[in-house]
Structure 1
Amino acid sequence: MDAPSKPAFAAVADALRALTFRPDFTVREIPAPSSLAPDAFALAGDVRPRDHGIDSEYGTGRLILLHDAAEPDAWNGAWRIVCFAQAPLEPEIGTDPLLADVAWSWLVDALETRGARFHSASGTATKTLSKGFGSLAGEPDGAQIELRASWSPDGDIGVHVEAWAELVCMLAGLPPGSEGIAVFGAHRVARG
């Protein structure tokens, strides 16, 4: 992608604001970090949130689109997408040794299904198990999967954002075509 002017970056951001998502995934623009690149745009997404602006108990995510005409070496280009996706799990699922690999493959599959070209991908998938003690001993055990990833997009940025939205929904137990289907077993245990 050629390095855009400020108006061109603004046009990309406007195109992302115009995207529509499945009805059970709420997306809102959030303040973008100003220290990562000269141009940045950020979104937050929540699966079936109860309250606007509050992380969903089913799954949540963040996406930041960065642009730097200096083309940082690690990016291998002028554009970079940084994303985060997280969802609670049943403790039994959290112990699956392949869970982290599956979470990463869902991101790659979502990108490839949309024809989203990318390179220089990196990331981590973290699974967490939690057990309460003391005054929290009565709380049920919990588990969570979290994926942090970044990649350099080529072509239409919108398909990359759609892939991120699919990833957040998949982690929450909502594969494509599952709009309106109940989510079972999703719970977030408050700790601390």
Structure 2
Amino acid sequence: MSDTVTGSPVPAPFGAAIDSIHAATLRSELVVTELPAPGSLAPHSIAFAADVTPARHSDDSDLATGRFVLLYDPSSPDAWGGPFRVVCFAQAPLETDIGVDPFLAAVAWSWLIDALDTRGARYHSPSGTATKILSTGFGELQVQGDGAQIELRASWSPDDSALGPHVEAWGDLVCMLAGLPPVPEGVSVLPTRRKGA
């Protein structure tokens, strides 16, 4: 097996992580594709995109979309606390009345942590931002009216090469942002009502 970024031989721990990712079970509503991995962040990396169906050809989903990047650096950078680091992104449109909810960002972050814990992902050093975006169309975009989005950007360090649960948790997060049930007991979802629906 060779690394798609550098062409160099894949170290055994990174190869095990890739195998674990490919063995992950994701929800049927997700369309997942492998992307070119960033070559400047770590010696080895792999990246994926996910869209909640239905998605238009060559466009992000109207329901929710996400990106997942696994970085591997055998030198274990101090900031990572180990050789692996996951960087992910998830985004979904919302109704404006939901977008102004003062607890929305905290809820989105809690969904990520809950998804990681529910899937049994072993990790440490989580960090990230949850951003609420409110917009109003003007001029030719006035017909779009008001809109809102939630974006979650996060990273964490997996404790080992068992990355399947991490990818599954990320997939669960993308689906939760899209308002798709079912979810673990005690976790609420955003209403599926979307702008223009």
With the shorter chain as reference, the TM-score category is 0.7 to 0.9
Give the equivalent residue in structure 1 for 2:179: 173
Q: How does the TM-score come out when normalised to structure 2?
A: 0.85
The Cα of 1:173 is off from its aligned counterpart by 0.5
Distance across 1 between alignment mates of 2:54 and 2:22? 19
CA displacement at 1:184 relative to structure 2? 3.6
TM-score, normalised with respect to structure 1: 0.87
After TM superposition, the runs of 4+ consecutive aligned structure 1 residues lying more than 4 A away are none
Change in Cα spacing, 1:106 to 1:177, as seen in structure 2 (3 Å) is closer
How far residue 52 of structure 1 moved from its aligned partner, in angstroms, is: 4.7
Over 3 Å counting, the alpha-carbon distance change for 1:110 and 1:177 in structure 2 is closer
Distance 1:85 1:177 in 2: 17
1:89·1:144 contact (CA, 8 Å) conserved in 2?
A: yes
- How far residue 14 of structure 1 moved from its aligned partner, in angstroms, is 3.5
1: distance between equivalents of 2:57 and 2:139? 33
Structure 2: distance between partners of 1:26 and 1:107: 19
Q: Read off the aligned partner of 1:60 and give its amino acid letter.
A: T
Deviations 1:100-147 (A, max 9, x none): 000000000001111211111110000000001122222221000000
Matching residue's letter, 2:193: G
Identity %: 61
In the alignment, residue 21 of structure 1 is paired with which amino acid? L
1:169 partner letter: C
8 Å Cα contact 2:81-2:157 kept in structure 1: yes
Secondary structure at 1:86 match in 2: strand
User: Using the alignment, how far apart are the partners of 1:22 and 1:107 within structure 2?
Assistant: 16
Deviation at 1:97, TM superposition (A): 0.3
Confirm whether residue 37 of structure 1 aligns to residue 42 of structure 2.
yes
List gaps (5 residues or longer) in structure 1.
none
Q: Is this contact kept in 2: 1:49–1:55, CA < 8 A?
A: no
Whole-angstrom distance in 2 between the partners of 1:85 and 1:27: 13
1:1-38 deviations in Å (ceiling 9; x for gaps): xxxx7252234224323433211111111111000000
3-state DSSP of counterpart to 1:136: helix
Q: Which residue of structure 2 lines up, in the alignment, with residue 186 of structure 1?
A: 194
- Give matches, 1:136-151, under 5 Å: 136-151=141-156
The two structures, once aligned, show a CA RMSD in angstroms of: 1.9
